Amino acid sequence: MITRTRTPFQRTRRTRRSAALRGLVRETRVDPAQLVYPLFVTHGLDVRAPIASMPGQARLSSDQLAREAEELRALGVRAVLLFGIPVAKDAAGSEGYAADGIVPQAIRALKDADPELAVIVDVCLCEYTDHGHCGLLDARGDVDNDASLELLARAAVTYAEAGADVIAPSDMMDGRVGALRDALDDAGHETLPIMAYSAKYASAFYGPFREAADSAPRMGAGDRRGYQMDPANAREALREVAADVAEQADIVMVKPALAYLDVIREVRAATALPLAAYNVSGEYAMVKAAAAQGWLDERAIVLETLTAIRRAGADIVITYHAKEAARWLTER
Distances (CA, A) of 243 to 173, 178, 198, 237: 12, 9, 9, 10
Q: Domain tally for the chain?
A: 1
What is the pLDDT, as a whole number, of residue 4? 61
Residue 271 lies in a domain: yes
Residue 200 lies in a domain: yes
Q: pTM value?
A: 0.93
What is the pLDDT, as a whole number, of residue 134? 86
Residue 6 lies in a domain: no
Q: How far apart (Å, rounded) are the C-alpha atoms in residues 302 and 2?
A: 54
Q: Which residues contact 270 (CB under 8 A, 6 or more apart)?
A: 238, 241, 242
Residue 248 lies in a domain: yes
Mark whether 255 is an active-site residue.
yes
Residue 310 lies in a domain: yes
What is the pLDDT, as a whole number, of residue 218? 66
Among residues 224, 218, 197, which one has the least CA distance to residue 280? Answer: 197
What is the pLDDT, as a whole number, of residue 224? 82
User: What residues are paired with 39 via a beta bridge?
Assistant: 82
Mark whether 200 is an active-site residue.
yes
User: What residues are paired with 49 via a beta bridge?
Assistant: 59
What is the pLDDT, as a whole number, of residue 178? 97
Residue 206 lies in a domain: yes
Structural domain including 194 reads 28-331
Q: How far apart (Å, rounded) are the C-alpha atoms in residues 57 and 83?
A: 13
Specify the CATH number for the domain of residue 266.
Answer: 3.20.20.70
Per-residue pLDDT of the chain (332 residues; tens, 9 = 90+): 556 667 778 889 999 999 999 999 999 999 999 999 999 999 999 999 999 999 999 999 999 999 999 999 999 999 999 999 999 999 889 899 999 999 999 999 999 999 999 999 999 998 899 888 888 898 888 889 999 999 999 999 999 999 999 999 999 999 999 999 999 999 999 999 999 999 999 999 998 987 876 666 665 545 788 889 999 999 999 999 999 999 999 999 999 999 999 999 999 999 999 999 999 999 999 999 999 999 999 999 999 999 999 999 999 999 999 999 999 998 87
Residue 4 lies in a domain: no
Residue 53 lies in a domain: yes
β-pairing verdict for 58-61 and 195-200: unpaired
Among residues 16, 37, 167, 3, which one has the least CA distance to residue 96? Answer: 167
Q: How far apart (Å, rounded) are the C-alpha atoms in residues 63 and 112?
A: 11
Q: Please tell me which residue in 111, 255, 288, 323 is annotated as part of the active site.
A: 255
Helix (H, G, I), strand (E, B) or coil at 90: strand
Q: Please tell me which residue in 111, 200, 288, 323 is annotated as part of the active site.
A: 200
What stretches of 238-331 adopt beta strand conformation (E)? 251-255, 275-279, 316-319
